[in-house]
Amino acid sequence: MARELLLMADVPGLGLEGQTVKVAEGYARNYLLPRKLAAPVSATALKHLEKTRLAREQRQQEERAAAQDLAQAIEQVSCTIPVKVGENDKLFGSVHTGDIAAALQAQKIEIDRRKIQLAEPLRELGVYTVKIKLHPEVEAALKVWIVGE
Mean pLDDT of 90-103: 90
Q: What percent of the chain has pLDDT over 90?
A: 62
- Residue 1: pLDDT above 80? no
Instruction: Identify the pLDDT of residue 17.
Output: 86
| CATH homologous superfamily, domain 68-148 | Ribosomal protein L9, C-terminal domain (3.10.430.100)
Instruction: Identify the pLDDT of residue 58.
Output: 95
Per-residue model confidence as pLDDT tens digits over 60-78: 999 999 999 999 999 999 9
Average pLDDT over the chain reads 91
SS (H, E, C) 7-21: ECCCECCCECCCCEE
Considering the segment(s) 2-64 as one domain, its CATH architecture is 3-Layer(aba) Sandwich (3.40)
Three-state secondary-structure class, residue 45: helix
Where do runs of H (alpha helix) occur along 33-78? 43-75
Q: Which band of pLDDT confidence, cut at 50, 70 and 90, is reported for residue 11?
A: very high
Domains of the chain, residue spans: 2-64, 68-148
Asked if 125 and 146 touch (Cβ cutoff 8 Å), the reply is yes
SS (H, E, C) 105-125: HHCCCCCCHHHEECCCCECCC
Three-state secondary-structure class, residue 49: helix
Measured in whole angstroms, the distance separating CA 121 from the mean position of its chain's CA atoms is 21
Q: What is the amino acid identity at position 83?
A: V
Instruction: Identify the pLDDT of residue 23.
Output: 94
- Residue 18: pLDDT above 90? no
